[in-house]
Amino acid sequence: MDIIIRYKKLTFFILGIFTFRISSFAPTIVENLYSNGTYKLISQIGSSVTGIVPFSIAEFMVFFTIAFIISKSAKIVKGIVTQRIKFTQFILKSLKNILVFLSFIYFIFVFIWGLNYHRMPFSKIIGLNIRPASAKELEKLCDNLIRRANILRDLVNEDHKGVMKIEGGYSTVFDRAYLGYKNVSQIFPELSGIYGKPKAVLLSRAMSYAGISGIYFPFTFEANVNIEIPDSMLPATTSHEMAHQRGSAREDEANYIAYITCNMHPDPDFKYSGTLLALIHSMNALFKTDRNKYYDLKSKFSEGVDRDLAYINKFWQSYEGPIEDASTSLNNTYLKANDQEAGVHSYGRMVDLLIAEYRLKKKNSQASFSY
């Protein structure tokens, strides 16, 4: 009987695990009933409600949780010191309560977000054929992105150091970000919907040390953005977190969605940021494949693009350290736990989507998603 009672307290965890694993065998059902059904409904309602508040509720919850843990720990230590609480008894009781609480949290996570990891791949939804690419195709993709980035770079503002600058800062980016999704949703209704605006994170400096540009918090349906990152990456990062908000759980696909929504945005700063995101991933892939070609193509960067990329590298290098390493390791574990087997390396798969799009555009210049 004790065993039954013990497992009964973990019912939510067991049910969550079972549902998550079963869903992996039925991506079409998940896509139609959950991602474009249940999740789309609750995420829009939840996001609209939390969107009323101008600050990040998720960040406030972090502050509250830390304060609660400190306060609770202080009381426990005092109780142990005065011998009103038996240490062993307390530890066992605490572990049991923590497991029950985490069991419930995991259950909620699966049903309000986690099942999106098992929806249909975005490539299938939009009809992109993902297959191995040749080095020549990668080279042509990079060359195409460089030419586009050079043209768009001349249309954006820059500061006294010659680095891209967005007039009005992050607030104007958050105000305008929906326009790209408004346009792209006319082609891909899966990305449609009314959601709350992205939120600025007050502890952006801490996020920078952790190597994090943005984070989607499923319990509040908020797209949280590190507002310290370079302006050239701000529109793309914002669009990336908005992709998560719309149910795109896979990181590689969220990057690609950020790229296409930025490129279908009416403003050049968004177009440039999205193209720069694609260029960074593609050139990184080329560097691993053919360094000579990488340096040949790198020489084609305009001075403005070169300055922006150098500034992005300098920014992240200034925050490298043990905190960033620990954060990467934690993120890698999280991704693998949600069936993204490549972990953080799944970000590189964006290039496969870009090449598949490049092939389709080359074959059919009237492709439905061309821009």
Torsion over CA: 335, 339, 340, 344 (sign): positive
Tens-of-pLDDT digits for all 371 residues of the chain? 444 445 566 778 888 888 888 988 999 999 999 999 999 999 999 999 999 999 999 999 888 888 877 876 777 676 666 666 566 666 666 777 778 888 888 899 999 999 999 999 998 998 888 888 888 989 999 999 999 999 999 999 999 999 999 999 999 999 999 999 999 999 999 999 999 999 999 999 999 998 899 999 999 999 999 999 999 999 999 999 999 999 999 999 999 999 999 999 999 999 999 999 999 999 999 998 899 999 999 999 999 999 999 999 999 999 875 544 443 444 454 445 455 555 433 335 789 999 999 888 877 664 444 44
What are the φ/ψ torsions at residue 45 (nearest 5 degrees)?
-65, -50
Domain count, the chain: 2
Does 370 reside within a domain? no
Cβ(313)–Cβ(280) below 8 Å: no
Does 167 lie in the same domain as 45? no
Does 104 lie in the same domain as 144? no
Does 319 lie in the same domain as 186? yes
Does 312 lie in the same domain as 179? yes
Does 201 reside within a domain? yes
Does 268 lie in the same domain as 154? yes
Nearest to 276 by CA among 259, 264, 288: 259
Does 167 lie in the same domain as 39? no
Does 9 reside within a domain? yes
Range 223-254 burial, b when 16+ CB lie within 10 A, else e: bbbbbbbbbbbbbbbbbbbbbbbbbbbbbbbb
Does 143 lie in the same domain as 98? no
Does 142 reside within a domain? yes
Residue 11 lies in domain: 2-118
Residue where a domain terminates, one of 95, 118, 141: 118
Does 368 reside within a domain? no
Helix residue spans in 82-166 (DSSP H): 87-112, 122-125, 135-153
Residue where a domain terminates, one of 72, 103, 118: 118
DSSP letter, residue 231 = G
Residue-level pLDDT at 312: 95
Does 129 lie in the same domain as 107? no
Does 127 lie in the same domain as 113? no
Does 369 reside within a domain? no
**SS3 assignment, position 216:** strand
Does 109 lie in the same domain as 178? no
Does 255 lie in the same domain as 129? yes
Residue where a domain terminates, one of 118, 136, 154: 118
Does 140 lie in the same domain as 94? no
